[in-house]
Amino acid sequence: MTGWLAGKRALIVGAGSGIGRATIDAFLNEDAQVAVLEYDSDKCAALRQQLPDIPVIEGDATTRTANDEAVQVAVDAFGGLDTLVNCVGIFDFYRRIQDIPAERIDQAFDEMFRINVLSHIHSVKAAVPALRGQDGASIILTESASSFYPGRGGLLYVASKFAVRGLVTALAHELAPRIRVNGVAPGGTLNTDLRGLDSLDLGSRRLDAAPDRARELAARTPLNVALSGHDHAWSYVFLASHRSRGLTGETIRPDGGFSLGPAPQRN
């Protein structure tokens, strides 16, 4: 524990599992106060059992009502709000344009962009009034390696993550100088519980359920690492802390060096 977030009051949206859940632990370890908005009732129950001292709001992050409630609960509990983190996301399991039936395109598009983009917009809209009054306020949105490269998701997922990258840029410009806005773009991640689109019959499929996933993830990167949510969580800690006070409109990319190309051959 270094106390990098001492005095910070954070709302983490989509924190029931994976990167969001790991970010709760990292923020608590750094002395932040944390409230959570989570959609899944079982995950909410688990959080309340594991962390009885943190406020857990059960609600749909794609709605204005749930985000307004979560911000109000955090402000009432902590006396204010300094940091918003959004980790909400859904996947399309690499579906190409030719893989999506024409009659399902509208529904799949709406589901992907409602969850991956609209949830971020609603959470920011709800939090901005509370954040504006605080020194060192920041917003951290979750992008992806897919925000920069094709092939790390299908058509809809890649497009949605490019959109989140656009949100970071537009919001950073709009909300300066009072609020910093940055993104984290994780590469492939272990133990994410990232699910697929119901509209494409992928709702019960988990990205991390693939066999030998750790070896496959490590083989993609020059660092030869398979990163977990706990690895990624420290990027959120840094961006929420005073140490990053000169950064806005930027993206940290904990991806094992994916942008450098495939891992070199090792003898």
Give the residue numbers marked as catalytic. 157
Give Cα separations from 170 to 88, 113, 185, 247 (angstroms).
Answer: 19, 17, 17, 14
State how far the Cα of 249 lies from the Cα of 227, in Å rounded to an integer.
24
State how far the Cα of 181 lies from the Cα of 174, in Å rounded to an integer.
10
Give Cα separations from 166 to 88, 162, 181, 251 (angstroms).
Answer: 16, 6, 11, 11
Q: Taking a C-beta distance cutoff of 8 angstroms, is the pair 83, 32 a contact?
A: yes
Give Cα separations from 236 to 61, 67, 78, 259 (angstroms).
Answer: 19, 20, 20, 20
> Residue 140's closest CA among 254, 258, 17?
254
DSSP state of 135: T
> Residue 123's closest CA among 252, 258, 10?
10
State how far the Cα of 128 lies from the Cα of 11, in Å rounded to an integer.
12
State how far the Cα of 220 lies from the Cα of 136, in Å rounded to an integer.
36
